Amino acid sequence: MTDHVRRVQRAYPQLYLACHVEHTTRRRAHGLSDRDGSVLAHLDELAPVAAGALARHLGVGPSSVTAAIDRLEALGLVERTRVGRRAMLRITRAGVRHMQAGSVLDTARVEAMLAAVPAARRDEAVRGIELLAAAARAMMRKRANRRA
């Protein structure tokens, strides 16, 4: 595992430095706080997320997520539906545009980086990032559950 750790520690900063932009100013320019941007980044267009699960994942109280969702829903960036007593959340197309505009990773730079990957390997590269992100979410959930 040591070689894998070293490789991730070497690769991630290169990716980040190549694509990073000053995001605080960008989010505020679009009327979003850092928390709003974080909420949007954790939502999907197709797979709804329970509001309570999102709050636990972000390590904030349900009332904080509810306040953010109220703002984002009023702006048309989040869609909230009810399944029984649970609020289920999805990002809208407008929300995706706002999330990308306020992302810590510049869309044009990420597109350029992906264009440098051979087309036949692009899905493989993105899937690798998605696998690491899923593992990171699971690790954070586990940590949050231990604290609760």
Residue 145 falls inside a structural domain = no
Does residue 80 surpass a pLDDT of 60? yes
Confidence of residue 29 (pLDDT cuts 50, 70, 90): very low
65: nearest Cα among 47, 44, 89, 85:
89
How many domains, the chain? 1
Residue 14 falls inside a structural domain = no
Residue 52 falls inside a structural domain = yes
The CATH number of the domain holding residue 68 is: 1.10.10.10
Cβ-based neighbours of 54, under 8 Å, separated by 6 or more: 39, 42, 43, 65, 89
Residue 75 falls inside a structural domain = yes
What domain range includes position 73?
22-104
Residue 143 falls inside a structural domain = no
| pTM of structure | 0.71
Which of the 8 DSSP states describes residue 51? H
Structure tokens at 132: 């690491």
